[in-house]
Amino acid sequence: MAYEEQLADRVRTILKQRSVPNEEKKMMGGLCIMVDDKMCMGVVKDQLMVRIDPDKYEEVLNTRGSKEMDFTGRPMKSFLFVRSEAIDMEEDLEYWIDLCLEFNPRAKSSKKKKGK
């Protein structure tokens, strides 16, 4: 199991209710949700991966069930994991989704690789 499908469905439902166009991509051993061609949030195992405003990073780090996202031995600034027990309630999941959607318009898009 690469990611918890039930959590992914909860995220999909909230985005659909809010009419947020998005695209799903499987990456990093989980599901990445792209909004406006930018990584916005995702599901890795049973955790929510969030991309938030770097100015809010320190404020929410290690609160509300979050922890640094660290795949490479170095934390990725603006990215956090949110433990499953911290998003059991719909309002808690919506809090994190709101932070992601709030930052997304200002987030930088990854450079696309040129085709050969």
Share of the chain above pLDDT 70, in %: 92
In a domain, 116, yes or no: no
In a domain, 115, yes or no: no
Residue 100: pLDDT band (50, 70, 90) is very high
- ∠ at Cα 104 (102, 109), nearest 5°? 165
Per the structure, the count of domains in the chain is 1
Residue 110: per-residue pLDDT: 72
Residue 116: pLDDT band (50, 70, 90) is very low
**pLDDT tens sequence across 27-76:** 877 999 999 999 999 999 999 999 999 999 989 987 878 998 876 777 78
CATH of the domain at 16: 3.90.1150.30
In a domain, 85, yes or no: yes
Q: How many CB atoms lie within 10 A of CB 116?
A: 3
91 pLDDT above the threshold of 80: yes
Q: How far apart are CA 23 and CA 65, in angstroms?
A: 26
pTM: 0.89
Do 94 and 100 form a contact (C-beta atoms < 8 A)? Answer: no
In a domain, 96, yes or no: yes
In a domain, 70, yes or no: yes
In a domain, 59, yes or no: yes
- The first and second tokens of residue 48, run together, are 């929510």
Strand extents, DSSP E, the chain: 23-27, 30-35, 38-44, 47-51, 66-68, 79-82
DSSP code at position 32: E
Residue 17's domain comprises 5-106
Residue 11: per-residue pLDDT: 98
Residue 74: per-residue pLDDT: 77
In a domain, 113, yes or no: no
Q: What is the dihedral of CA 54, 26, 70, 115, to 10 degrees?
A: -80
